Chains A and B, each alone.
Chain A
């Protein structure tokens, strides 16, 4: 079964610093990969998705992620953190070979921004 691992349940960075949130997946075939963000008291919203068109994917709010097949990774980055980036971030994978159109989520990483 496919799985997703997010390294670090909590990440804290200073405002203006680089944000790096790590995600590794296990899948026997190239999957579809997603990053979602959840602000307090809200549902999840899509940040970006990888669908094999390009390995570097740009999303909303200045975030981007790079698909590295050799490392089975899809890490999320942002060059300069803003206070409004404080939220919980989820990596997810969809594997068509499983025959069901559903996502498997990682454990989540809570991002804190220090002023």
Chain B
């Protein structure tokens, strides 16, 4: 079974702090994604990566950056956290090149910025 692990289930940070959300997958998947989940808005794509050191902006990249130094790890960075970034963050992975392959999700990190 594919396992996608997000390092924290809950995080509380202060406005202006630099925040790192970590995600690791164990199935050698090329593609990794960061989504943000908010009530009534569903999941919105922040960034995705299809290879080490490669990244592409999703639909809502403002205020975020990412890092992919190793194939299994994809980090989401909030350079200066703001209260409007309080949300549930979901990481996912899938093999490259197969559009009908489902995404495998982690359990999410619920971030609160005060």
Point out residues on A near B: beta carbons under 8 Å.
4, 6, 9, 32, 34, 36, 41-46, 49, 51, 90, 92, 94, 96, 100-108
Contacts and interface: CB of A to CB of B under 8 A. Distances in A.
A103 B40 CA distance: 17
B27 interface: no
A36 B42 CA distance: 12
Contacts of B40: 9, 107-108
Interface residues of B, number: 29
B74 interface: no
A90 B92 CA distance: 15
> Which of A4, A9, A92, A102 is most buried by chain B, counting CB atoms within 10 A of its CB?
A102
Contact of B99 (A9, A36, A45, A101): A101
A108 B103 contact: no
Contacts of A96: 99
Nearest to B58: A102
A107 B42 contact: yes
Given A34-B102, A49-B102, A101-B31, A107 B94 contact: no
Given A43-B90, A102-B45, A107-B42, A49 B100 contact: yes
B107 A90 contact: no
Contacts of B98: 101
Q: For the complex of A and B, list the 5 residue pairs with the smallest distance between their C-beta atoms, beginning with the closest.
A: A43-B105, A51-B100, A105-B43, A46-B102, A107-B42
Given A43-B90, A102-B48, A107-B41, A94 B100 contact: yes
Interface string B46-88: 0010100000101000000000000000000000000000000
